[in-house]
Amino acid sequence: MIRRFGGKERNSVFERLARLKQDGRVEEYVKEFEILVGQIPNITKEQLLRYFLGGLQMRIRNQIRPHDPKDLMRAIEILLDLEEAANDEKRGGAITLQIFDMLLERG
C-alpha cells in the first residue's frame, strides 16, 4: 500500500492531486490536473473523475453534477461548454449595454 500511494515521500502526487483546487481559469486547472495525473501510472476512471470534480469551485461543480458525467473527458467537455456560455453571456451583455447607451445618446 505504501508503494501504491507514493511511499514515505511527503507531498506525493496523490496528495498534490487531492489538494489541487481551481482558483482561476478552467484551462489552467485542467492543465495542472493533467500534469499531475500524467505522473500516476494506475488510476481508475472513477478516481480521475472524483479528484477532478473535487478540485473545482463549488458553484462550478454544482453546475456540472446535474449533467452526470461518467468520465473525466465528459466532465471537461461540460465544464468548457459552461465556461464558454458564461463568457458569451458576459460579452453579449456588454454589447447589449453598449448598444443601449448609443441609442440613449441619439434619442
Please report the pLDDT score of residue 105 as a whole number: 55
Please report the pLDDT score of residue 67 as a whole number: 93
* Domain ranges across the chain: 13-106
Angle, in degrees to the nearest 10, between helices 45-55 and 26-37? 140
pLDDT tops 50 at residue 95: no
Tell me how far CA of residue 38 lies from CA of 20, 34, 42, 102, in angstroms.
14, 6, 10, 51
* Per-residue pLDDT band at 87 (split at 50, 70, 90): confident
Residue-wise pLDDT tens digits, 23-42: 988 888 999 999 999 998 88
Q: Is the CB of residue 82 less than 8 Å from the CB of residue 60?
A: yes
Calculate ∠ Cα 34-39-43, nearest 5°.
80
Please report the pLDDT score of residue 11 as a whole number: 74
Q: Is the CB of residue 46 less than 8 Å from the CB of residue 79?
A: no
